[in-house]
Structure 1
Amino acid sequence: MLVSVGRTFDSLRVRNYRLFFFGQILSWSGTWMQWVAQAWLILRLTDSGLALGMVTALQWLPVLLFGAWAGVVADRFDKRRILLATNVSSAVLSLALGIATVAGFVDLWLVIAIAVVLGIVTAIDNPTRQTFTMELVGRDRLANAVSLNTATFTIARVAGPAIAGLLIAWVDVGPVFVINALSFVPVTLGLLAMRQDELRPTPRAQRARGQVREGLRYASSTPILRTLLTVMAVVGTLQYNFHILISLLAKNTFGGDAREFGLLGAVLGGGMLLGSLASAAVGRNGRRLLVGAGTALGLCSLLVAAAPNIYVAGAIMVPLGMASMLFLTTMNSTLQLNSSDEMRGRVMALYFVLFLGSTPIGAPIIGWVAEAFDPRAALALGGVATLGAMTYAAVKLLRRSPAPAAERMVVSGDDHDDIEAVETDPIDEREPVPTADRL
């Protein structure tokens, strides 16, 4: 039991990572509070699911347009300094929205403008934040740290919506934005307090022409990366729109208010937290786990879509959240461990382009389906799309060719996080694959 707990929180033995981890819990909690408050504010201003989907799409449009270039920034510059800049920028923007809302002069166009600028900041922040994890803990602890990173996100996913729902009911949406601005202070102080001599900086890419094209060629010519990113494009576009669908389910399908909205989000977040901790405890990643978690994600989405009432929907959201986080943590660490140091930022930028940057495509579709038919139909669409993507992933990732016993890796002990992630299928020898860390 103690060994299992120690394995789950192994990365917290690293001082710099501890500072990052606890700062992230507060920062992500504030961010989730803002997402809930922003969605509720838009519904109050417009009473339209389509408008909510469109604003969400515009917020993530910069990730789609500039995400690949943001990966080059992550590969070329000091990641800690980039994160300091993005955290301060996010705080200022959240504070501006809070002041405007409390003062009573907020309108839809101001919400859109701040959302778009926050999207630009997010486009830079995400690939940098993900690849900074490698510098904090090193390769051996990466899978564990990625799972714990996801746990911070999901702890916030539990606390943030519930707190936001209560605050909206008690004091309205404006103070929620102000609290989010304050939540960036601890993580910023943590970044400043890190011991730079204990970081494990990876080689930086040198300035050169065509670095975005180089990253695209690298990802497309590496079979396992190509397969994973294709799957993420489908799932990211049509499945990961929970922030839209939960608000519409609570308000339109089940006739609830901000409390039900916040509580549904918290229940989903509880499942996500369990999935993150389970992934950290297992400490290894594999293709079967990826396909299994994705399949469970699709099936649970269909079950929520068929739920007769809010209580059944809430109960199913626990395994839905678990499957969601197991899928994302496995996808994240497998992509990082199969990428070379010089290309990791660009690969993770592509991941976020397909995960978050696909929102400008998926959110309006999901918002329109939810408004024209029912939020249940939009959930079902995401579930069916995810099951289709998992069928493709199973065909590509689970087939094996016979290999000599000596070539099969045997993992023992705890120091195995990155080996299982590259329990890769034989790579098509007809395609040239750039040099990478194939463990």
Structure 2
Amino acid sequence: MRVAKPPRYNPLLALRDLHYRRFAIGSIISVLGMWMQKIGVAWLAWELSRSPFWLGLIAAADMLPSIFLSSFAGSLADAHDKIKVLRWAQSVAIVQSLVLAVLSWAGLTTVEVLFALTIVLGISSSLEQPARLSLIREIVPPDYLHAAVALNALSFNLARFVGPVLAGILISEINVGITFAVSGLAIACFSYTLAVIRVQRGMGRPAGTVPGSGTVDGFRYVLGHKGVLATLGLMGFSGISVGGILQMLPAVSDALFARGIDGFVALMAASALGSIVSGTVTLLRPSDSRGALGIAVAALCATASLAALALAPGFHFALVAIFCMSFANMYAGIAGQALLQLESEPGKLGRVMGIYSMIIRGSPAVGSFLIGAAATFVGMVVPIIGVAALAACYAGIIALAFRRPR
């Protein structure tokens, strides 16, 4: 009797679903605008202050609200229609982008005003991200969930590759305000796309759940799940180290290599290219070897590359180091999110994604603030090596704890 062969792994099958295809197209447009705004904010902060401290503080302003709001936002996503939550948060982001564009064109932006408006965007993003991440599971069948996560990460990093290049051209040829206007338009496009998406109803909203009521339960669930807890810890330490330095690239370009805006864009492009290549490799290989051990090994490679970036003897070596850092970090990120999506109970996924969002947005804010504050006194190299060593120690502990028996 002939045994039927299992269907060949095809990562593009997730795109056959009309609603996921709409979500993916709208998402990449939105993320492209988001990266253009990030570049505009980072460069404007550096141009207004020429201070690593202010640069780190404004990067923190974008991400720190996640520490206080993302877990609540996760319970909000579990209790309500995720698409409605997304669209309300996006309305705030659109207004913020347009206000920042007008102020920039009028020459009224100060570093303090930029800081305040960045906090507003950080609050909006904190409320949006858990709903956005957990929505994927309500659109895509479980068999294609890992492919959808990889596609999502790949599109995110394609935007991270293209966005800085476009932003650099627009800043050089027009002005920084145009990047904020484009960001508002891109978010509006995604908000419209969400209005025509249909999801699988009844996928995990517990009866009687109200916003915030399950926040503590979400933390209790994470603390009781060894694999989820270890993965979230790895995401946190990677965020402090790798994510923190990605927020400080204007200072890295200027202070370490004296390359200005061109060096900043080149470093961002090398980082995005590393993530794109990693996302493509991860997407094309079958997802049969996920786990905390693989994530920990990838995190160790990323922190080693981060240390090489800090000690780079020249700019071209730095480009190679940041490419390798982003390659390894993206592998860890895709594997980590897939593990969380697949191992979390459906009714708690919003809260897990809320904690995940809190970590991946909050930890780079902590890292950029620590690096920026320390760099004011001791230069850029010492704090970069310090956060890399801290992350490597944790990743090494997790790799030992989850090593497979021979």
Normalising by structure 1, what TM-score? 0.86
Q: Give SS of 1:308's match.
A: coil
**1:15 equivalent among 11, 14, 18:** 18
**1:378 equivalent among 383, 386, 400:** 383
Unpaired runs of 5+ residues, structure 1, are: 403-439
Cα gap change, 1:299 to 1:185, in 2 (>3 Å): same
Instruction: Tell me what 1:111 maps to.
Output: 114
Q: Give SS of 1:203's match.
A: coil
Give the letter aligned to residue 246 of structure 1.
Answer: L
**Deviation at residue 255 of structure 1 after TM alignment:** 0.7
Instruction: Tell me what 1:184 maps to.
Output: 187
Aligned pairs (5 A) from 1:90-109: 90-109=93-112
Aligned pairs (5 A) from 1:275-286: 275-284=278-287, 285-286=290-291
Deviation string, structure 1 residues 329-372 (Cα, Å, up to 9, x no partner): 11111112111111111111111212212344322111123332
**1:63 equivalent among 46, 63, 66:** 66
Is the Cα–Cα contact under 8 Å of residues 63 and 122 in structure 2 kept in the other structure?
yes
Give the letter aligned to residue 171 of structure 1.
Answer: I
Cα distance in 1, alignment partners of residues 217 and 33 from structure 2 = 36
Cα distance in 1, alignment partners of residues 233 and 76 from structure 2 = 23
Give the letter aligned to residue 330 of structure 1.
Answer: A
Q: Answer yes or no: is 1:258 the counterpart of 2:261.
A: yes
Q: Give SS of 1:204's match.
A: coil
Is the Cα–Cα contact under 8 Å of residues 245 and 379 in structure 1 kept in the other structure?
no
Unpaired runs of 5+ residues, structure 2, are: 1-6
Deviation string, structure 1 residues 113-151 (Cα, Å, up to 9, x no partner): 211111111111111111000011022111111111111
Normalising by structure 2, what TM-score? 0.92
**1:248 equivalent among 236, 251, 275:** 251
User: Over aligned residue pairs, what C-alpha RMSD do you find?
Assistant: 2.1
Is the Cα–Cα contact under 8 Å of residues 26 and 193 in structure 2 kept in the other structure?
yes
Instruction: Tell me what 1:124 maps to.
Output: 127
Is the Cα–Cα contact under 8 Å of residues 165 and 263 in structure 1 kept in the other structure?
no
Q: Answer yes or no: is 1:398 the counterpart of 2:400.
A: no
**Deviation at residue 201 of structure 1 after TM alignment:** 4.6
Give the letter aligned to residue 172 of structure 1.
Answer: N
**Deviation at residue 22 of structure 1 after TM alignment:** 1.5
Identical positions, percent: 26
Cα distance in 1, alignment partners of residues 258 and 352 from structure 2 = 42
Q: Give SS of 1:307's match.
A: coil
**1:155 equivalent among 158, 161, 180:** 158
Is the Cα–Cα contact under 8 Å of residues 238 and 329 in structure 2 kept in the other structure?
no
Cα distance in 2, alignment partners of residues 362 and 277 from structure 1 = 28
Deviation string, structure 1 residues 300-346 (Cα, Å, up to 9, x no partner): 11111121111111122222211111011111111121111111111
Cα distance in 2, alignment partners of residues 184 and 89 from structure 1 = 10
Pairs aligned (count): 397
Is the Cα–Cα contact under 8 Å of residues 36 and 163 in structure 2 kept in the other structure?
yes
Cα distance in 1, alignment partners of residues 272 and 242 from structure 2 = 16
Deviation string, structure 1 residues 69-92 (Cα, Å, up to 9, x no partner): 111001111111222222232122
Deviation string, structure 1 residues 141-189 (Cα, Å, up to 9, x no partner): 1111111111111001100111111211111211111111111233222
Cα distance in 1, alignment partners of residues 42 and 246 from structure 2 = 8
Cα gap change, 1:370 to 1:138, in 2 (>3 Å): farther
**1:228 equivalent among 213, 228, 231:** 231
Instruction: Tell me what 1:355 maps to.
Output: 360
Which stretches of structure 1, 4 residues or more, deviate above 6 A after TM superposition?
none
**Deviation at residue 211 of structure 1 after TM alignment:** 1.5
Cα distance in 2, alignment partners of residues 74 and 157 from structure 1 = 26
